[in-house]
Chain A
Amino acid sequence: MVQSKRQAYMFLAFCLVPTFLLFSVFTLYPLFNGLYYSFFEWSGSSSLGEFAGLDNYRRLFSDEIIPMTILHDYFLVITKVIGIMILATFFAVALTQMKIKEAPFYRIVFFFPNIMSVVVIGILWTFIYNPSLGLVNSGLEFIGLESWTKPWLGDEDWALPSLVLPSVWAGIGLFMLMLMGGISNISKSYYEAAEIDGATEWQQFWKVTLPLIWPQIKISILYIIITTLNGSFIIVQVMTRGGPNNSTHVMGSYLYEQAFVKFNFGYGATIGVMILILSLITVIIMQFLMRREKVEY
């Protein structure tokens, strides 16, 4: 290169510095400042409130709603992981192994909810669950199960489970495609060899397909965990706002309520720290649990 060192540094700075400044101001600084806020008692008046030491954290541990929100978040994580992974794996295997002519149609349709706005999904499903007009209750009446109809999102016991279906509905396509990518990389010869050895299709699935797409399964599960812990509050906010009677509050929606509705910004930040720590711990534990020797045949 015929450029001086100075010019090279100028160019490097041109490429990196403006972007990094904006990233620092709008991402890094707020994150670290959030940690800092969690030690203050602050209702949002002009100057930062009083230093409160660990008061917010004490309050966190004695707040009766907090354990509920954690429980609700992990309920959503577990049900979503199970629901999405079973259906996505089934669909991925069906669309790659079964030689179905119209497979591209299913692929296009199943993926579409992934790019719909959560607001649209949430409102659509609120209507599906609508007690008098909704599809769920009319369907139940149609097949003669009137006694099962209920105001799904208004029922303290059923509101949270009712949020699982829209999340699965909206999430399946992406994970199905990730698994399909894994399956299509498996060489046909493994299946031929398995067939010669007399393995049934079911055995082929457990002994060939599943071990070989384990990396994709692992990434999918981790991705569902991360997006649920960091984003389940969006669908909660749209569909139930945490109600009825806090029965659907998750950590993020409780943070929103504390900080931006009740203006307890310091306490809100403390909940944010809890979300950060819990999601990091969960991801590390899951990564450890799902560690498995890389399979090669």
Chain B
Amino acid sequence: MPEKKVIDARGSFCPGPLMELIGWIKLAGIGDELEVLSTDKGSAADIPEWIRKVGHELIGVTEEAGVWHVTVKKTK
């Protein structure tokens, strides 16, 4: 059964939101969705770029009160 996990990377300068996602996506199952919360607007671009490059699925990017929500699905 696919699960949904929230990665709270707000205020994370190091390792940073994308590195957090890379670490956690390895622990996820295929079909799981991971929602990254980030206060770095760069996450809205660099997470989708990496997702496209490795072939996972980008579900969506939204911004709410200075927090970017980037949701991806692990596909392989």
Do A and B associate with each other? no
Chain A residues in contact with chain B, CB under 8 A?
none
